[in-house]
Amino acid sequence: MVDLAIIAAVAAGAFVGFRKGFIVPLVVQAGGLIGLWAVYAGPLKGSVPSGIAGAGLGFGALALASTVFGMVARVLVSLFHALNPTLGAFADPTTLNALVTAATKAPIPTDQLAQYDAALGFYENNVRPSLIGSKLAPLLLGAGEGLPIIGQHVDFPTK
């Protein structure tokens, strides 16, 4: 029964996470589970009163641990995004419009993509050649295609 509750909590965190960012809600769910563990099976196990007071203590531990872990995760994620500005550059409308305008006039050489979008230039110049030459990547994509819910067909780049 507890296993089902854990699976439901992680699934709820994942569902909310796909809409608002996956990491913070997952950390909040994990914090709540750690709080419950600390009260009922961890270091506070011997001091939990029986009855409604024990249930209230568990609810308080769940709320407190979820809140603390959530605040810490939000701060860490915001710091990570502040220190890595290229994460915010993906699909920036201004960058995409400049790229479209330049591409309608003439094809953009691969080595000049970094002038328009640093992340796309990095992908085309560094990641894509390694991906095309990889022997393991097609196997991983093929294995992931069969996964339930998240599995999808991906055409592997050839050139």
pLDDT at residue 14 in the model: 65
Residue 132 has pLDDT above 60, yes or no: yes
What residue spans of 41-85 are helical by DSSP H? 52-83
| Tens digits of residue pLDDT in 7-53 | 777 777 666 655 556 777 778 888 888 888 888 888 888 888 888 88
Q: What distances in angstroms separate CA 128 from CA 54, 85, 124, 125, 157, one per listed residue?
A: 56, 21, 5, 7, 8
Amino acid at 56: G
Is residue 88 within 8 Å of residue 61, measured between CB atoms? Answer: no
Amino acid at 112: Q
Encode burial over 50-70: b for 16+ CB neighbours within 10 A, e otherwise: eeeeeeebbeebbeebbeebb
Residue 148 has pLDDT above 70, yes or no: yes
Q: Which long-range contacts (CB under 8 A, 24 or more apart) does 146-152 make?
A: none
Is residue 40 within 8 Å of residue 48, measured between CB atoms? Answer: yes
As a whole number of angstroms, the distance between CA 2 and CA 21 comes to 26
As a whole number of angstroms, the distance between CA 86 and CA 83 comes to 9
Sequence spans of domains, the chain:
2-83, 87-145
Q: What distances in angstroms separate CA 86 from CA 80, 92, 99, 120, 159, one per listed residue?
A: 11, 10, 16, 10, 25
From 48-52, 88-92, 110-114, the region with the lowest mean pLDDT: 88-92
